[in-house]
Structure 1
């Protein structure tokens, strides 16, 4: 622990940290090692692992505590020097639904406390919880250790319930109460956008002075129009290959004709993410111009999640009902390097979610130079600059998405304008900046007695 006056504090005192030495990061319901795009794994998984890596690079060690879903998992796994993932035995060794996880909060908390008890006093300087379930654990361990609790919600129940998709279930009262308790007791809250900050203050009564806005990042070395950065970071010649060279080459690598126009959806297949809107919009586009069928492809990269698990074949059936099964391609979730190729290959990426705290897919796509057509909700209004890096659509009428996509597909000048704007927009989001912002939030949390101790 780095101290202002160089003297170690009595345990439990509020102290001002120059920079925390060690952070206990809590991610109970999903492991940062899981492949994003299916089950409960998504943008939060990417956020946690990338943030942890950057914090370690800045000299702050991170231990991530997550629930073990298999007895074959090692108790600990070092990701990079300074980042360790701990698999906590709490509940059955299998994936279980989020509705069942509250029953295992006490077991998870007890194991986290046992781990810390094996260290010297004051081992962790900060607890950083992700999602409300981990926040419940964070309240207990931060109070016991006498350290600040910093919390990132990632999604908010009241926001989700206000914009439910057809066929989706509202978040239960248990989550609403638990989420409120975490927000009330955390020393600091980290919001991804100003919109999320307003949600925290207006819907949950969080004091504005306790909410820090820190945008998530994107790996700009992986998500690039012309492929991963060459060894040594030498980009000479990259700008000479033409704006479409990366897209055409990526299509060939993925098994498509280089002239194919690809509309891409990336994410978990569930009503909240609304991939059905893209399929209906594609059917509309073909209805407007039947000749388009021969050169258009719709690609869905992801797997069923949440309430989507109840109807895992719903999109396959919808494609058949719409008469476009021949042009719709379903791909399982893929690692980031392969995902970047899908973004490069796409003519446009569609993000029609009913709610998004940020919209990492939109930023990743833009970093690859691909325009985004997204719902004008939540963090997507920050991630996408309307008319510059993509198009924001109000509502979920497939015809409105078809209008936006048709212009991108048919007007080359407009598409290139958006592509250039997409790259510029994404350049402002980097994980190193995210880590520095989070460190500043940790510092602010440590300047006063933690609220968990006061309450």
Structure 2
């Protein structure tokens, strides 16, 4: 079997945690690797952003990333990428034709790639599987006060993909419900396949290993540590954690608390400075250490160094950071939104917070920070909970789905439908 994965706006080889790279990058890279190790040939098509990348990157046997030139290498943000859909699709078609490639199935990721996948599906006459990862209607429903809403143009494009894809893959039952509620998706067109985590890399550390992690990060050994890992944008909620920390310090100025914020800015208006300035304004700058995004093999150090990992997002399709942190033996405090109630076992492997109010977050954080026995027990339970999610399991479900859609490709696979 040969699979064409489409990830136009971000490469699976890009460092997660900055720019447009995040959980989706981890998802694509991890599932592609696992499928390749099953003997399935996977080509991931993405937009070239540097001339030094080369056209083809051989990642491992059966897996390569193909960099398609579509627009300038630099200076083109995600909002401008729709202007390059035709160039990108044309580049994919040209590469495949020149290499005499044929594929059995297309799997597109995110709505920009879905538009390309829709075209390729009709040209190549093979099934299209699509994973949205985020949806405009859902993002707008859960938007923070500081964020700009997603455009109606994006919503229309998503509707077209929903109407034309042969199968829609989602992470959770809630995502399936959102597709039906906001986009009138047919229930039998949706397949729920939970993502996973690298449970071989993200493992608990010993007490001595935790001390070493803290020394490497310059964190006091006896402080209580809360970590945030992810892109620095309002939608991910780093400002929620910073304000909650300020509230904790206001209640108890002597509290021995440190915070790690690991990630880079995402979006045109986002900068690390705005969060540093917020911490300075609230009087907690000396308690917060900002780190650049880190590769997974270094990120495990952050998880192990923390007593709690905070995921204060306004919405998450699943929440890979939450699973990775739990696999490393660290309990998670997360927003009760999206797929996070599945990623975090409330009261067992962590806690869920029903709002984004700093006081509510301060209440939950203080309860766990001050109750060592409960927090440690949650960390132990978190490892078992995370073990239920693995990338090999995700890849197996995807392989089954690919074989099903190729064996029973419906007639609508080769027809077009407009949407408005």
- With structure 2 as the length reference, what TM-score do the two structures score? 0.96
Secondary structure of the structure 2 residue equivalent to 1:247: helix
Conserved? CA contact 2:122–2:415, under 8 Å: no
* Structure 1 match to 2:225: 262
Query: Does structure 1 residue 38 correspond to structure 2 residue 22?
Result: no
* Structure 2 match to 1:325: 285
After superposition, the CA RMSD in angstroms is 1.3
CA distance in 1, matches of 2:282, 2:378: 29
Per-residue Cα deviation, 1:190-238 (whole angstroms, up to 9, x for no partner): 0001111111112111111111111111001111112xxxxxxxxxxxx
Which one of the candidate residues 214, 221, 225 is aligned to 2:204?
A: 225
CA distance in 2, matches of 1:322, 1:275: 14
Query: Does structure 1 residue 62 correspond to structure 2 residue 22?
Result: no
**Deviation of the 1:70 alpha carbon:** 1.3
* Structure 2 match to 1:173: 152
Indicate how the Cα distance of structure 1 residues 95 and 152 shifts in structure 2: closer, same or farther if over 3 A, else same: farther
**Deviation of the 1:77 alpha carbon:** 0.3
Equivalent runs, 1:237-256 vs 2, <5 Å: 241=206, 244-256=207-219
Secondary structure of the structure 1 residue equivalent to 2:373: helix
CA distance in 1, matches of 2:17, 2:99: 36
**Deviation of the 1:251 alpha carbon:** 1.1
Query: Does structure 1 residue 337 correspond to structure 2 residue 275?
Result: no
Query: Does structure 1 residue 430 correspond to structure 2 residue 390?
Result: yes
Query: Does structure 1 residue 375 correspond to structure 2 residue 338?
Result: no
The 4+ residue runs of structure 1 with deviation greater than 4 A are none
* Structure 2 match to 1:199: 178
Which one of the candidate residues 373, 386, 389 is aligned to 2:346?
A: 386
CA distance in 2, matches of 1:54, 1:364: 17
Which one of the candidate residues 147, 158, 164 is aligned to 2:126?
A: 147
**Deviation of the 1:249 alpha carbon:** 3.0
Indicate how the Cα distance of structure 1 residues 341 and 308 shifts in structure 2: closer, same or farther if over 3 A, else same: farther
Query: Unaligned stretches of 5+ in structure 1?
Result: 1-20, 227-240
Indicate how the Cα distance of structure 1 residues 349 and 74 shifts in structure 2: closer, same or farther if over 3 A, else same: same
CA distance in 2, matches of 1:387, 1:287: 26
Indicate how the Cα distance of structure 1 residues 363 and 308 shifts in structure 2: closer, same or farther if over 3 A, else same: farther
Secondary structure of the structure 2 residue equivalent to 1:313: helix
CA distance in 2, matches of 1:412, 1:40: 37
Conserved? CA contact 2:172–2:194, under 8 Å: yes
Equivalent runs, 1:266-345 vs 2, <5 Å: 266-292=229-255, 295-309=256-270, 311-345=271-305
CA distance in 2, matches of 1:450, 1:92: 38
Per-residue Cα deviation, 1:147-177 (whole angstroms, up to 9, x for no partner): 0000000001100000111210000111001
* Structure 2 match to 1:91: 71
Query: Does structure 1 residue 116 correspond to structure 2 residue 77?
Result: no
CA distance in 2, matches of 1:153, 1:245: 42
CA distance in 2, matches of 1:28, 1:155: 15
* Structure 1 match to 2:164: 185
Indicate how the Cα distance of structure 1 residues 450 and 366 shifts in structure 2: closer, same or farther if over 3 A, else same: farther
Conserved? CA contact 1:139–1:452, under 8 Å: no
**Deviation of the 1:307 alpha carbon:** 4.7
Query: Does structure 1 residue 209 correspond to structure 2 residue 188?
Result: yes
**Deviation of the 1:250 alpha carbon:** 1.7
**Deviation of the 1:454 alpha carbon:** 3.1
**Deviation of the 1:308 alpha carbon:** 4.2
Conserved? CA contact 1:271–1:308, under 8 Å: no
Secondary structure of the structure 2 residue equivalent to 1:366: helix
**Deviation of the 1:255 alpha carbon:** 2.2
Conserved? CA contact 1:76–1:85, under 8 Å: yes
Indicate how the Cα distance of structure 1 residues 68 and 41 shifts in structure 2: closer, same or farther if over 3 A, else same: same
Indicate how the Cα distance of structure 1 residues 195 and 270 shifts in structure 2: closer, same or farther if over 3 A, else same: same
Conserved? CA contact 2:219–2:258, under 8 Å: no
CA distance in 2, matches of 1:92, 1:147: 30
Conserved? CA contact 1:407–1:414, under 8 Å: no
Query: Does structure 1 residue 103 correspond to structure 2 residue 63?
Result: no
**Deviation of the 1:407 alpha carbon:** 1.3
**Deviation of the 1:254 alpha carbon:** 2.1
